[in-house]
Amino acid sequence: MATPASSPTPPRIRLLATGGTIAGAQTVGGRGYQAGALSIEALIGAVPQLAAIARLEVEQVAAIGSQDMDEAVWLKLAARARAALAEPELAGVVITHGTDTMEETGYFLNLVVPSAKPIVLVGAMRPATEISADGPMNLYNAVAVAAHPEAAGRGVLVVANDEIHFAREVAKTNTTQVGTFKATHRGLAGLVHAGRLHLYAPPVRRHTAGSEFAVLPVTALPRVDIVYAYAGMGRELIDAAVRAGAKGLVVAGVGDGNLNAAALAACAAAARAGVAIVRSSRTGGGVVERNLEVPDDELGFIAADELNPQKARVLLMLGLTRTADPAALQALFFAY
């Protein structure tokens, strides 16, 4: 077990705030709430214990619900994290973020920020003004993880509900419960109880300082869309994505990334036209393998391997900044 750092001079941690429910305030007497309504200073003020474990430096990068997260904020966040972690005296970065798209932002940063120092995303399922709000303890735990030297070299982490997850592995699996985050394939990065860390095995796939996408700052990302497969699917949405200018398309296929004949024909035509086609799965778990029911070699498709559709989209966007060759893109899905 690793206890929270408690030296007379606690480590410097940069807190990059983006909004989310952790900064959400309910309307008086109402059921609803507005994500990102509270400032990061108000959140920190609710957890005075933070001062004992870190010297926090706050930067408000955005103030949005994470349903409004987009590529522009990702690029800004990556640049701010990159700049912060390049400061020799800075121990780590914590990013407050809505839970809806945290898995995508986390995986993106996992691929583009070239630092072995801890980078921790944290959110909450209950607004800050709700009964038993989970944000204050999540924030305390996230800062404790980022401040701890043993959390280094593990890629971008997500902390919530006393759990530490690898950003690559984690997915939001429940609309409202505090235990929404699950890692279907490779399990937890660790546990954290009131700032005390229990770390498990490090990740095996390439990340952060070992990522080829982190060598130079990423400045632009190509359009990649996701199409969800279903019984009786037609080809129209695939054709529409191609017409809209998508350079890549991720299909949330049925089962093992499968598509019916109409969708398959549309994807095959798109691949012939140079659009990268990645087959992921709508099942929420399992590996999409090559050439089982779909002849990937013949059609020039890419199998998403372990990545869910939204993470596959992140890797495909980054991959397309380097190559459009399906074989080279497939290699990325086996490496990251």
* Contacting positions for ligand GLU (CB under 6 A): 20-21, 35, 65-67, 98-100, 123-125
Residue 208: CB minimum distance to ligand GLU, A: 24
What is the total residue count of the chain?
Answer: 336
Q: Are 131 and 149 in contact (CB under 8 A)?
A: no
- Give 137 or 267: the residue with its C-beta nearer to ligand GLU: 137
Residue 271: CB minimum distance to ligand GLU, A: 33
- Give 160 or 218: the residue with its C-beta nearer to ligand GLU: 160
Catalytic residue among 3, 18, 21, 176: 21
Say whether 248 sits in a helix, a strand or coil: strand
Residue 311: CB minimum distance to ligand GLU, A: 16
Cβ-in-10-Å burial (0-12, 13-18, 19+) of 71 comes to: middle
* Catalytic (active site) residue 323: no
Residue 19: CB minimum distance to ligand GLU, A: 6
- Give 35 or 246: the residue with its C-beta nearer to ligand GLU: 35
- Give 15 or 299: the residue with its C-beta nearer to ligand GLU: 15
d(CA 193, CA 176): 22
- Beta strands 90-96 and 12-19 are parallel
- Which phi and psi angles does 163 have, rounded to 5°? -115, 150
- Beta strands 163-166 and 190-193 are antiparallel
- Concatenating the DSSP letter of every residue in 17-52 gives EEESGGG-EEPTT-S-EETT-S-HHHHHHT-GGGGG
**DSSP alpha helix (H) spans, 147-223:** none
- Give 100 or 305: the residue with its C-beta nearer to ligand GLU: 100
Residue 204: CB minimum distance to ligand GLU, A: 29
* Residue with the shortest CB distance to ligand GLU: 98
d(CA 323, CA 315): 12
**Residue 25 pairs with which residues in a beta bridge?**
34
Give the active site residues: 21
